[in-house]
Structure 1
Amino acid sequence: MPEQWTVRDISRAMLPLLLALSTVEIASGLVLGSIEDILLAKPALLVLVPVTIGTAGNLGSILAARLSTAVHLGTVEFEPTDDTLAGNALATVALALSVFPIVGAGAWVLTELTVGAVLGPLDVVLVAFSAGAVLAVLAIAVTLTATYAAYRLGLDPDDVVIPVVTNTCDVLGVLVLFGVVAVLL
């Protein structure tokens, strides 16, 4: 990593990444557009979309920040037996499994209070919980991959990993949420 960043260095490192991530976000919007009818027919799912993708991105970002700090401190080894990696991954899964049912319950309550729920509360909680469990695993995989890639390429993980994780989780969040809906409902 450079000792001193210049605007040129920052632009050279980040512009290609930001362009690629913009394309990823467009893909996420196209997927949402293709399932608009489902969202309008089941308003609780419409409420779940931004909360699910935001929560998945937040979980990945928390993990990314912790791993980035560990990289800077030299306390992480990218090995399957690394306790730092395992502990942080386990904490991410535990947090997801405790937060996503609350997200589902909140989405159902909000929908019930505003437009009347089409889906039952257990259905919405089960969808949120299942999507959250899958997204936690995917967010961990994306975060570990992005952190390792940044480390190997000599980029600062603080600059690279969180944008990659949040943008990727946006797309994965939409895909996983509606994959779970297709399977469970």
Structure 2
Amino acid sequence: MFPILITLSVLEMGSGYVLESLESTYLDNPTLLILVPVMIGMGGNLGAILSSRLSTRLHLGTLEFSPRDEQLWTSIAAIMLLAVTVFSALGVAAWGLGRLVAEPMALADLLVISVGSGMLLAIFAVVLSVAATYVSYQQGLDPDDTTIPVVTNVCDILGVVVLSAVAIAVL
């Protein structure tokens, strides 16, 4: 686990670099700053939920890495529905907070940025969770020990990158 943790720590510095390089975008739209910590945390949380479910099924012997595994697709659908709900609520909450503390962005723009980047991040989290569980299984590692650190750290980085890319595209 030590090499994985070192690699992930180095990658985490990359998300800070991305934030710093896009500082002007965030300072021009301070409402976006409200989205940053939640976006970073939520992507990792969604991935951790799915990774945990997959690891449990793997230990129980009920997980099949097959496109016909209905329980796998049900878990993925649940994560995607949770993402739509959370990132929609986040957009509205950020808009409301933005009205109190800064000049708010238009609600429609904020919802497009929040939901759009959130759904992209959820897709990445799903793919990472399934891939990390599969690779752990193939390598003979316990997915409970490997998947959650990998998925949460990579989703932290992707959260910053995806949010920034969508914000730039919308604005």
The TM-score, its normalising length taken from structure 1, stands at 0.89
Note if contact 2:31-2:102 (Cα within 8 Å) is conserved in structure 1. no
What is the CA–CA distance in structure 2 between the aligned matches of 1:140 and 1:57, rounded to whole Å? 10
Shift of residue 115 of structure 1? 2.3
Q: Aligned match of 1:61 in 48, 60, 63?
A: 48
Q: Does 1:95 align with 2:82?
A: yes
1:169 match = 155
The TM-score, its normalising length taken from structure 2, stands at 0.96
2:97 match = 110
Shift of residue 108 of structure 1? 1.4
Shift of residue 184 of structure 1? 1.7
SS of the residue corresponding to residue 65 of structure 2 reads: coil
Shift of residue 116 of structure 1? 2.9
Q: Aligned match of 2:129 in 123, 143, 152?
A: 143
Identity of aligned residues (%): 47
SS of the residue corresponding to residue 20 of structure 2 reads: helix
**CA offsets, 1:64-102, max 9 Å, x none?**
110110011011011111112111111111111111010
Structure 2: segments with no counterpart, 5+ residues:
none
Shift of residue 53 of structure 1? 1.4
The list of structure 1 runs, each at least 4 consecutive aligned residues, that deviate by more than 3 angstroms after superposition, is none
Q: Aligned match of 2:118 in 132, 139, 146?
A: 132
1:182 match = 168
What is the CA–CA distance in structure 2 between the aligned matches of 1:153 and 1:16, rounded to whole Å? 15
What is the CA–CA distance in structure 2 between the aligned matches of 1:161 and 1:27, rounded to whole Å? 20
Q: Does 1:31 align with 2:18?
A: yes
SS of the residue corresponding to residue 80 of structure 1 reads: coil
What is the CA–CA distance in structure 1 between the aligned matches of 2:167 and 2:32, rounded to whole Å? 9
Indicate the larger mover: 79-88 or 140-149: 79-88
Higher relative contact order (CA 8 A, sep 6+): 2
Structure 1: segments with no counterpart, 5+ residues:
1-13
Larger radius of gyration: 1
Shift of residue 183 of structure 1? 1.9
Q: Does 1:83 align with 2:70?
A: yes
